[in-house]
Structure 1
Amino acid sequence: MDSAKYVARIDSLCTGGPAAEHGGSDVLMAGPGYTIVSLEMSPASWTGDREGRVRTLEDFYALKDHIAALLDTRWGARRPWWMGTLVVRIDRGEPIPEPWTTISTLVDELDLWQPTGTDRWLALGVLEGEMDDEVHLLALITETDPP
């Protein structure tokens, strides 16, 4: 897993045109003013291999933390954000703007930055999914402030 490659992809998301215009095979979702990309994806061959999946999850969280440390040196300390509070707000009927509603269904926690010199927010998270699903390292770039 090549951190420089992921940071370069993040840079392209932060400095390019409107976020929803970014294409690429790594784009999972996009909408007005936001893009969610999969920086890295594991294989989905877990069939009963709990230990292998746990090791993979540990590797993905370690990769996220490594990239986050690199981004901290650029933009200052990340803001950890647990999605549980946001999910409760959604369940209570509070209107939450996209992409925050969607990302809250994908990950349990995010690391958040507002890249210097932009009006965008960058978030990193790990999508764990179900036992047989792929694991993804996600990057979200959006023009919408976190709720």
Structure 2
Amino acid sequence: MDIAHHLGAIDLLCTREFPAAHGRTEHGESGPGYHLAVLQTSVDFWEDDGTEREETETQYEFDRDGLAERLTERWGPPDAFSLWSVFRRSAEGEAVEEPWASLSSHVPDVLLWKSPERGRWVALGVSRWDKELPFQLLALITDMDPP
């Protein structure tokens, strides 16, 4: 993991204006009120017996925590925020604002800070789409309060 590169992406997205429409960017995707950066992506696990997936999941959690240490030095300790209830509410048809609704469908929990420089939320999480699909280390920068 390249912490300096990931911090640079987060810093850039904390200062970049949000677009008026959803679209792809060099870091992932953006839309009204948010930027979602894919900081790191693993290999897929189509041929895996489960061992490699478990090791990779552990490594991605360590990488998230290492990056979180640097953000904690800047902004203080994060809040641990579970997205399980957000996912459940969204799945049951409740209107949940983006980017939180989509994020909750594959990220079970995030570490969450409020950046004092811009007043934006910064969330770090590990995406777990499905057992065959790769893990992703994600950073969400948004001005929308967590649900």
Q: Does the pair score TM above 0.5?
A: yes
Aligned counterparts of 2:24 and 2:141: Cα–Cα separation in 1: 10
Aligned counterparts of 2:111 and 2:137: Cα–Cα separation in 1: 12
CA contact (8 A) 2:34 2:140 kept: yes
- Percent sequence identity over matched residues? 34
CA RMSD between the two structures: 1.9
- Post-superposition CA distance 1:43-85 (Å, at most 9, x none): 1254124111111110000000111111011011101011112
Aligned counterparts of 1:66 and 1:115: Cα–Cα separation in 2: 18
Q: Is 1:62 the counterpart of 2:69 in the alignment?
A: no
> Displaced runs of 4+ in structure 1, greater than 3 A?
19-22, 91-94
Q: Report the equivalent of 1:23.
A: 25
CA contact (8 A) 2:125 2:139 kept: yes
Counterpart amino acid of 2:25?
Answer: G
Equivalent residue of 2:86, what SS? helix
Counterpart amino acid of 1:73?
Answer: E
Aligned counterparts of 2:85 and 2:145: Cα–Cα separation in 1: 16
CA contact (8 A) 1:22 1:35 kept: no
Aligned counterparts of 1:140 and 1:10: Cα–Cα separation in 2: 8
Aligned counterparts of 1:128 and 1:95: Cα–Cα separation in 2: 23
Aligned counterparts of 1:115 and 1:139: Cα–Cα separation in 2: 13
Deviation of the 1:4 alpha carbon: 1.2
Q: Is 1:82 the counterpart of 2:97 in the alignment?
A: no
Equivalent residue of 1:145, what SS? coil
CA contact (8 A) 1:46 1:52 kept: no
Q: Report the equivalent of 1:135.
A: 135
Q: Which runs of 5+ in 1 are unaligned?
A: none
Aligned counterparts of 2:2 and 2:54: Cα–Cα separation in 1: 21
Distance 1:91 1:14, change over 3 A: same
Aligned counterparts of 2:129 and 2:114: Cα–Cα separation in 1: 27
Deviation of the 1:18 alpha carbon: 2.3
Deviation of the 1:33 alpha carbon: 1.5
Higher-helix-fraction structure: 1
Deviation of the 1:94 alpha carbon: 3.4
- What TM-score, normalized to structure 2? 0.89
Distance 1:113 1:21, change over 3 A: farther
